[in-house]
Structure 1
Amino acid sequence: METVRRTRRIAAPVVAAALVLGALVGTGSGAEKAEARTGAVRWSAAWGAAPQLPSTGFTPNWSQEGFSRQSLRQVVRVTEGGDRARIRLSHAYGTSPLKITGATIARTAKGAAVQEGSVRHLTFGGKRSAEIPARGELRSDAAPLRLKELDSVTVTLYLAGTTGPATFHSQGWSDTYRADGDHRADASGVAYTSRTQSWYYLTGVEVGGGAEPAKRDGIVLFGDSVTDGFGSTPNTNRRYSDALAERTGRPVINQGIGGNLVLNDSAWYGERATARFGRDVLDQPGVSTVVILEGLNDIGFSEAKGQPTYKPSPVVSSAELIDGYRKLIGAAHDKGLKAVGATLLPLKGSDHWGAHAARTSDEVNEWIRHSGEFDAVADFDKALADPADPDRLNPAYDFKDALHPNDAGYRVMAKTVADVL
């Protein structure tokens, strides 16, 4: 489920990271497990992005060229407050160690600028620099920084060496900035003269409170480009994950990847849902619920013609897709998470539409609604359908590709989920 502006193909394995980071089981870091034993800090995931293989097949980005003697400044909005913060970095698709020369976190001012006096240097095992092994990940130590729910924070990495291609998240719908040289501690954004709308290496911001019982009320939204926010207005935090956090007051972690598939890995659109679920959902601290919205790409890629990134594109049956959902539900339940099933959105008129997609999406949605295997159901299909033609998105909610919602549609999705939590 993706609009692709360029179609240069890459060839690279996409499954190795799942073997290292965990597939349908969460791994957790040593520090995380030690803190859980001592009860010293209550950590909650407050923002997240699912890592992807470097690729130029999206909007322009720096993932394949990487970085050298450059500062990388990334702005994200946290959905939980606390008095300390730490970051999570992924080198899932790296083939050699990654050297992080230094990193800071600060409250955001405007654009690439940060608030004076808020810059905190991050450490890793007590040191300001760190090395992440190929296909590995790393959490920083805690930094004292008081944050409120829905505050924006700026994370800056200084990469003095040459990184090679960078693990990234393609479509962030917010500006990321780059500067030559070491500007990690700058309050001003003047040095940051280049920008894209992708995130690099940064896959999580977690916030901590005092030594109090964990609330475990976080929500992970797991899915494809609809979850990722395709069609939302850039730099305005209008994805459905943002709207849900605003509506519920609970931490919401967006783990969507545009074009993602339940059953197949893609060099463009990430590891299949069943392979990345452990890393992207089960390994998030403080969460209690996952909302699963996947499958339109499995159904629809085989209908689209002449799109080289829509590969693999086997004809997938409803039974095969349901088997994939059952694996996700079982993994969530094994971890003690509530699994909310979301029906597939109407898709008539899109490049994913055809006789097979129409029949299979109806079969899948009926199973989601009536099987009883999910703990609750968010019926996006009904909530966003055109009253005059239920197979189509309501024009009031359509981004104008007959596949993705606009800002108003994402608000309806947030309400639909909030009503069943």
Structure 2
Amino acid sequence: MLRIATAAALIAALTTAPASADADTGRWTPAWATAAQQPSADVWYPTWAEKGFTNHSVRQVVRVTTGGSTLQIRLSNAYGSPLRLTGASVAKAGAGAAVQAGTLRPLTFAHATSVNLPTGRQAASDPVRLAVKAGERLTVTLYFQGATGPASYHNLAQTTSYRAVGDHTRDLGGTAFTETNSSWFYLSGVDVHGGGPAVATFGDSITDGYGATLDADNRYPDALARRLGGRRPVLNLGIAGNRLLSDSACLGERGLARFGRDVLDQPRVKTVIVLEGINDILLGLQEPTPCTTPATKVGAEDLITGYRQLIRAAHARGVRIIGGTLLPTKGYAYHSDEVERIRDAVNAWIRTSGEFDAAVDFERAVADPADPDRIRPAFDSGDHLHPNPAGYQAMADALDLHTL
């Protein structure tokens, strides 16, 4: 079994950030956010992260989950080399890489068109006037004149990003953007003035949206955002392949280590939904790969100890925390009786312990009534582990909005 020898140190690290983001940001509310990852060799498909950019414009599309009349964008250089951003712009997205006429706004940082971003730092743009509504798509274009080196990124964007040679931050059309990718690079957040307190969704590929449709925004957090109708923004802070207790060179820092930065440091987050642990179970019983080293065997008790650390950290910052049960895995390539035993014990604790502020039974929402250890065929993406868009909608529908 895994021993979490540094539990006290982890809790201290999670709870020593500023007590409230509101005091530092005024009325800035995150309308969209993602979790940064270390640049690595291609995980499931080619990305631009490992080589980075030189004299490139990168145009990235996001969908905001609440509205406002003024916005700012946030960049993260959590990993990689010291960064110089030469120029940037934001606009309402058009078709493909094009933007809507009359909506393009140049971005500045401390009133300068460029900004230097040391490794491990973040930067927010100066505010710009651009009214957006919940559900609208924005395009952020970043220009890097010099070589960036390996780029901090988010691997599984499930959204098309575009690249062009040269400075095309002010292009309305998309003709110059001849290359595409499905990751986000350096972009970590879009904030608006106003809006309700944010709901963060935290977890692995099932939160990140593996099995959803490219460019369709039909992950479970997207479906939850539509249910809330812009009254409260919903932030997707999942990382595909992520584990609660173990770091990965490719799949993000362990959930215990990144929870403070990715969730609690977001402005105005008041609720977090946690769905993480299945990768700890599955990968701990497989032969390790470069992306899954260390492959440490864990039991239900180890995961419960980790959940308790998240609960204490959230409560120390005044954040409500909801636990999601782990989804069925029967039929998945690495399913086993041992996986099922651990998963069942974890889910029983989430449902009955009362230690989370509330629980959402994602397992029962997508389970096959004829075989509850298996995802219902109508909700299965095909790998028997990840839901399809209908399954993600069922997960969002399972959440009692009053628990938020």
The interval holding the TM-score normalised by the smaller chain is over 0.9
Report Cα offsets for 1:155-194 as digits up to 9, x if no partner.
Answer: 0001001000000000101100000000001111110000
Following the alignment from structure 1 to structure 2, what is the Cα–Cα distance between the partners of residues 153 and 23? 34
Q: Deviations along 1:7-59, whole A, 9 cap, x unmatched? A: xxxxxxxxxxxx9xx9514747x9975543xxxxx111111110111121221
Aligned equivalent of 2:215, options 226, 235, 242: 235
Report the 3-state secondary structure (helix = DSSP H, G, I; strand = E; otherwise coil) of the residue aligned with 1:313.
Answer: coil
Give the deviation of 1:295 after TM superposition.
0.2
Distance 1:378 1:285 in 2: 24
Task: Show the counterpart of 1:48.
Answer: 33
Q: Note if contact 1:174-1:198 (Cα within 8 Å) is conserved in structure 2.
A: yes
Which one of the candidate residues 24, 30, 33 is aligned to 2:14?
Answer: 24
One of 105, 115, 138 as aligned partner of 1:120: 105
Residue 357 of structure 2 is aligned to residue 375 of structure 1 = yes
Quick one: distance in 1 between partners of 2:21 and 2:226? Answer: 30
Superposed CA RMSD: 1.9
Aligned residues of 1:48 and 1:254 also touching (Cα < 8 A): yes
Within the candidate set 201, 215, 234, 1:221 is matched to: 201
Q: Distance in 2 between matches of 1:183 and 1:52?
A: 26
Contact 2:86 2:144 in 1 (8 A): yes
Aligned pair count?
390
Q: Which amino acid aligns with 1:178?
A: R
Q: Give distance in 2, aligned partners of 1:357 and 1:151.
A: 41
Name the counterpart of 2:278: 296
Q: Which residue of structure 2 aligns with residue 39 of structure 1?
A: none
Where does the alignment leave 5 or more consecutive residues of structure 2 unmatched? 1-8
Q: Indicate whether 1:147 and 2:132 are aligned.
A: yes
Identity of aligned residues (%): 50
Structure 1 residue runs of 4+, over 2 Å off?
A: 25-28, 30-36, 302-311, 418-421
Give matches, 1:48-87, under 5 Å: 48-55=33-40, 56-87=42-73
Asked if residue 201 in structure 1 is aligned to residue 186 in structure 2, the reply is yes
Preserved CA contact (<8 Å) 1:46 1:80: yes
Q: Corresponding residue for 1:177?
A: 162
In structure 1, how many angstroms separate the alpha carbons of the residues matched to 2:21 and 2:400? 33
1:88 is aligned, of 74, 78, 82, to: 74
1:306 is displaced (CA, Å) by 7.0
Equivalent pair of 2:196/2:233 in contact (CA under 8 Å)? no
Q: Give the Cα–Cα distance (whole angstroms) in 1 for the partners of residues 282 and 240 of structure 2.
A: 13
Long gaps (5+) in structure 1: 1-18, 37-41
Mapping of residues 273-312 of structure 1, within 5 Å = 273-305=255-287, 308-312=290-294
TM-score (norm 2): 0.93
TM-superposed CA distance for 1:305, in Å, is 4.5
Match of 1:353 in 2: 335
- CA offset digits 1:109-140 (Å, max 9, x no partner): 11100011111111111111100011211111
Secondary structure of the structure 2 residue equivalent to 1:158:
strand
AA paired with 1:344?
A: L
Letter in 1 for 2:116: E
Give the AA of the match of 2:226: E
Q: 1:237 to 1:308 in 2, by over 3 A?
A: same
